[in-house]
Amino acid sequence: MLLVGLTGGIGAGKSTVSALLAELGACIVDADEIARQLQSAGSPVLAAMAERFGEGILNGDGSLNRAAVAEIVFGNDDASKAALKDLNGIVHPAMQAEILRQIKIGHDGGQHVVLDFPLLAENPRDDLDATIVIDIDPEMAVERLVNSRGMDETDARNRIANQASREKRLAIATHVIDNSEGVDSLREQVADVWSTITG
């Protein structure tokens, strides 16, 4: 059974590609979803985050205020970079353990597993059989984030600037999917790439 990495910058269309791969029979391990679960109200990870960044990152009901965390860690100054490093130090060990657990479940069930992981270029793995990178022009990604997700343009640009560069992501790719043409082209490319990897 194969383990395939899937990555792309914010706004590249990872969740759409994940859904298409699931339709083709892949077991999807979604790193973002795992992070959300680990940071749920009352969790040890969220408690450690509140201790480091203050109670201001919590909503009134004890859940995580993601916008407040983004404001702290996605700036362009040294304090933001240090905060992001601390955040990763809190979240990543718990995430890695849960990712490995879910990969094992997929493989034990006889499925090829796709690890949907936005930070694959920043945190490379040596256990992948292939790496799919979803590529999109950064300006198009900003446009999609503003129009589809209602994100503030400055926030969108800050998030993109804090991710690995387009070039760094493409450098780790064994397969590239271009998501600039629309869903029909995307569906065709996903089917071709999956058939090449699993064939």
Percentage of the residues of the chain whose pLDDT score is greater than 70: 100
- Mean pLDDT, residues 145-165: 88
Percentage of the residues of the chain whose pLDDT score is greater than 90: 80
81 versus 27: which is more confidently predicted?
A: 27
The 3-state DSSP class for residue 164 equals: coil
Radius of gyration from C-alpha coordinates of the chain: 17
pLDDT tens, 42-61? 999 999 999 999 999 999 99
pLDDT given at position 159:
85
E strands, the chain, in order: 3-8, 27-30, 113-116, 130-135, 175-178
| Global confidence as pTM | 0.85
3-state class percentages of the chain: helix first, strand second, coil last, to nearest 5: 55, 15, 30
pLDDT given at position 106:
97
Q: Give the side-chain half-sphere CA count within 13 A for 54.
A: 5
